[in-house]
């Protein structure tokens, strides 16, 4: 494979010729002037040289003379490729000095490559049968060379005269440009980005200019920055890999863009998106580097929140799926326990064993509800309420939870705004925060619960993508416990993360708090210092409207009866069998189906009325909503009760929540199912789909 050395001070010419030759299979070397080419060739002689004539430092004629005078190089073919010296006498001089070919730019690729092949072939022939050297008169050649130079100088002199004639016009234009430059300088000083210029030709690449934006961003002015390397902004937490990438780019004289953690003069850190670009001087040599800085700390915070949200969403989807399966299983386990306990005369030991099974089922149900709350997929029953009422109602229970060595105090605002939330879930938030605070005060302390109406402005909300400025109600829970460092504080809302020893916590308490608050369109913040305690601040949006009665009735264990005909559709065999058992024992005439299609066939064949359709929401082939629509279209007197172990997100997507449909969440007890059925049958009118 032949090696070709191309010599030209024009980068575009070098690129085009390099690309052409490389495309034809040649190994290509490049030089910017004759001196550089001569040094390269003496170190590693090529098979062919293609050289321009007009170049700085050493022109092509001089290179040709030195080339043919060098014993190692003179036999290597030399093609002159010029756009400046194009007259016949220029060609004669080049050939007299020993050039093998003289070509004028620009040449078409095909004739140019034919010339290269011809010269290389001739070189092969010459090696086999060396031709005698061309005799020439050195004085004559030098005279011709001088004449050519004089001619070129005369042309340059003529051009200079033309330039001088235009000089006066340029002076006026220059003044106008100076005014523009002053405007540009003011603009550079006004931009929000930091701009700096460094000199790579001095030791350690020092800063030689910074604008006002740099000072606003870093706190360092021009006088404090001059002569320093940019690394004076770096701290201990700076990513050394990123710094290495930046230094490599600078050493190679190329552009680079990185995001790097820098420190301000006051010691605070910020994420700096730094883009450095090389600036070449008139000769093509690297003269300066320009760096543009942008504070992207806010964007990085939002990205971190987004990634955290994605992670929580993925775990939430898993939790929702697990919760659905759990709800079906718990419905069967707890349901049959209730039936056996209520319908059979059992010995004390047998009753005690069944009660233990039932308690385990209840604990599993609590864990499932925690998973759903964390994943923000719990079915809520929001009401317009005053948080003071929730605090007052749960205060006695909280005092039992935290123990006698913790002093509980409340500071409740008398003019508190109203919020819309599920009161049971807000109670869960209070209990979880209280238990968390109690565990942080191993030797006692004080726990304070505070409420007040607040307004969150743009500056507070800006770091949080899902928080809008406006009026909120604050629920704050503060303790005097051990506090947390930043590492722990950054993970407290992660599910299953806990600092408690094994067996003392599931790691779902604070994750549950976070999920409930987010599902209620609120925001939770934490403030903590090691040894000084912790404060959790829950912000819920204020709403208008009358307060809802949140006093829950004591659940009844009664099993109301009836004689209505019920079509039960449930694809989970165990759950369907349980419901059939419960409702049959209550006197109802039951028709069962394992899916929506079978249910439609049974409904068509049933000669008498069907008073109630009980259907699971999510089923293969035909979902509960679609089934109900088809049944009610033919039997408008039929009422509907939906069951589901899925979360509200799945139910909404299947068109159940958000409409006026009766709904029962799994797991349910026998009495709850019986009472719900009686309630739907006794309702004023069937729901209209």
Average pLDDT for 128-155: 60
Q: Is residue 550 part of a domain?
A: no
Check whether 291 has a pLDDT greater than 80: yes
- Confidence at residue 132, expressed as pLDDT on a 0 to 100 scale: 41
> Domain check: are 128 and 265 in the same one?
no
What is the separation, in whole angstroms, between the first and last Cα of the chain? 81
Question: Is the backbone of residue 349 left (phi > 0), alpha (psi -120 to 50) or beta?
Answer: alpha
Check whether 652 has a pLDDT greater than 50: no
Average pLDDT for 437-458: 90
Q: Is residue 225 part of a domain?
A: yes
Which of 120, 136, 152 is at the close of a domain?
Answer: 136
> Domain check: are 493 and 420 in the same one?
yes
Rounded to a whole number, what is the largest CA-CA distance in the chain?
133
Q: Is residue 644 part of a domain?
A: yes
- Confidence at residue 318, expressed as pLDDT on a 0 to 100 scale: 63
> Domain check: are 235 and 312 in the same one?
no
Which of 267, 295, 323 is at the close of a domain?
Answer: 295
- pLDDT band of residue 28 (cuts 50, 70, 90) is very high
Q: Which of 260, 262, 264, 291 is nearest to 273 (CA)?
A: 260
Weakest mean pLDDT among 44-48, 295-299, 388-392: 295-299
Q: Which of 348, 662, 376 is nearest to 519 (CA)?
A: 376
Instruction: Answer whether 517's CB lies under 8 Å from 538's CB.
Output: yes
Check whether 381 has a pLDDT greater than 70: no
The first and second tokens of residue 486, run together, are 């930043």
pLDDT in tens, 115-133: 999 999 887 765 544 444 4
Average pLDDT for 446-451: 93
Q: What is the CATH number of the domain that holds 406?
A: 3.30.565.10
> Domain check: are 27 and 124 in the same one?
yes
> Domain check: are 291 and 309 in the same one?
no
Q: Is residue 532 part of a domain?
A: yes
Containing structural domain, residue 103:
3-136
Name the more confident of 400 and 684. Answer: 400
Q: Is residue 161 part of a domain?
A: no
> Domain check: are 339 and 390 in the same one?
no
- pLDDT band of residue 329 (cuts 50, 70, 90) is confident
Q: Which of 151, 35, 34 is nearest to 86 (CA)?
A: 151
Which of 268, 295, 322 is at the close of a domain?
Answer: 295
Check whether 489 has a pLDDT greater than 60: yes
Instruction: Answer whether 279's CB lies under 8 Å from 288's CB.
Output: yes
Instruction: Report d(CA 320, CA 650) in Å as an integer.
Output: 9
> Domain check: are 529 and 409 in the same one?
yes
Instruction: Answer whether 101's CB lies under 8 Å from 124's CB.
Output: no
pLDDT in tens, 583-625: 999 999 999 999 999 999 999 999 999 999 999 888 887 888 8
> Domain check: are 406 and 460 in the same one?
yes
State what percent of residues in the chain have pLDDT above 90.
33
Q: What is the dihedral of CA 363, 369, 373, 377, to 10 degrees?
A: 160
> Domain check: are 48 and 116 in the same one?
yes
> Domain check: are 446 and 522 in the same one?
yes
Instruction: Answer whether 239's CB lies under 8 Å from 189's CB.
Output: no
> Domain check: are 630 and 577 in the same one?
yes
Instruction: Answer whether 643's CB lies under 8 Å from 666's CB.
Output: yes
Burial class (CB in 10 A: 0-12, 13-18, 19+), 429: buried
Instruction: Report d(CA 427, CA 390) in Å as an integer.
Output: 7
């Amino acid at each position: 494979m032949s090696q070709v050395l191309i010599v030209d001070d024009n980068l575009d010419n070098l690129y085009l010729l390099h690309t052409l030759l490389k495309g034809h299979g040649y190994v290509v070397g490049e030089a910017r002037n004759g001196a550089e080419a001569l040094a390269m060739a003496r170190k590693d002689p090529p098979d062919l040289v293609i050289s321009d004539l007009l170049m700085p430092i050493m022109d092509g004629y001089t290179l040709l003379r030195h080339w043919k005078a060098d014993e190692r190089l003179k036999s290597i073919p030399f093609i002159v490729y010029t756009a400046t010296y194009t007259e016949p006498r220029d060609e004669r001089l080049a050939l007299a000095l020993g050039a093998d070919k003289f070509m004028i730019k620009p040449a078409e690729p095909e004739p140019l490559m034919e010339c290269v092949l011809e010269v290389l072939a001739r070189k092969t022939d010459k090696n086999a049968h060396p031709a005698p050297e061309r005799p020439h008169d050195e004085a004559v050649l030098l005279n011709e060379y001088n004449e050519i130079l004089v001619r070129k100088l005369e042309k340059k002199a003529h051009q200079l005269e033309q330039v001088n004639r235009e000089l006066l016009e340029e002076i006026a234009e220059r003044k106008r440009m100076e005014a523009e430059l002053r405007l540009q300088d003011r603009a550079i000083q006004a931009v929000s980005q930091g701009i700096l210029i460094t000199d790579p030709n001095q030791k350690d690449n020092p800063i030689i200019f910074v604008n006002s934006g740099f000072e606003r961003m870093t706190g360092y002015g021009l006088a404090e920055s001059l002569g320093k390397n940019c690394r004076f902004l770096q701290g201990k937490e700076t990513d050394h890999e990123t710094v290495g990438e930046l230094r490599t780019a600078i050493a190679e004289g190329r552009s680079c863009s990185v995001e790097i953690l820098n420190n301000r003069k006051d010691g605070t850190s910020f994420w700096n998106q730094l883009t450095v670009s090389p600036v070449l001087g008139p000769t093509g040599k690297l003269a300066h580097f320009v760096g543009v800085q942008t504070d992207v700390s806010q964007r990085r915070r939002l990205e971190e929140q987004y990634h955290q949200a994605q992670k929580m969403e993925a775990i939430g989807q898993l939790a929702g799926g697990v919760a659905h399966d759990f709800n079906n299983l718990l419905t069967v386990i707890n349901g049959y326990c209730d039936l056996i306990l209520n319908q059979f005369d059992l010995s004390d030991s047998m009753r005690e064993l069944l009660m233990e099974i039932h308690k385990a089922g209840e604990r599993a149900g609590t864990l499932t509800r925690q998973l759903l709350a964390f994943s923000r997929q719990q079915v809520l029953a929001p009401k317009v309420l005053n948080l003071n009422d929730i605090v007052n109602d749960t205060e006695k229970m909280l005092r039992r939870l935290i123990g006698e060595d913790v002093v509980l105090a409340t500071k409740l605002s008398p003019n508190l705004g109203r919020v819309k939330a599920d009161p049971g879930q807000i109670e869960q938030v209070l209990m979880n925060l209280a238990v968390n605070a109690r565990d942080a005060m191993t030797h006692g302390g004080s726990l304070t619960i505070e409420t007040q109406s607040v307004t969150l402005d743009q500056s507070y909300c800006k770091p949080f993508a899902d928080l809008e400025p406006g009026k909120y109600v604050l629920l704050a829970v503060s303790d005097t416990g051990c506090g947390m460092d930043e590492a722990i504080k950054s993970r407290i809302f992660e599910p299953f993360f806990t600092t408690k020893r094994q067996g003392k916590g599931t790691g779902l308490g604070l994750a549950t708090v976070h999920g409930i608050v987010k599902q209620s369109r609120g925001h939770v913040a934490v403030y903590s210092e090691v040894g000084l305690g912790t404060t959790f601040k829950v912000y819920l949006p204020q709403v208008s409207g009358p307060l809802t009665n949140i006093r829950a009735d004591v659940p009844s264990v009664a099993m109301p009866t009836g004689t209505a005909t019920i079509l039960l559709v449930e694809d989970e065999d165990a759950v369907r069998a349980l419901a059939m058992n419960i409702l049959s024992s209550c006197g109802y005439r039951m028709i069962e189906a394992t899916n929506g299609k079978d249910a439609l066939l049974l409904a068509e064949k049933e000669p008498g009325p069907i008073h109630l359709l009980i259907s699971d929401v999510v089923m293969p082939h035909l979902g509960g909503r679609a089934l109900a629509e088809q049944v009610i279209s033919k039997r408008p007197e039929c009422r509907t009760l939906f069951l589901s172990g899925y979360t509200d997100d799945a139910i909404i997507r299947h068109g159940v929540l958000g409409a006026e449909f009766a709904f029962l969440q799994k797991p349910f007890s026998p009495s709850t199912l019986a009472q719900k059925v009686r309630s739907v049958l006794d309702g004023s009118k069937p729901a209209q789909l």
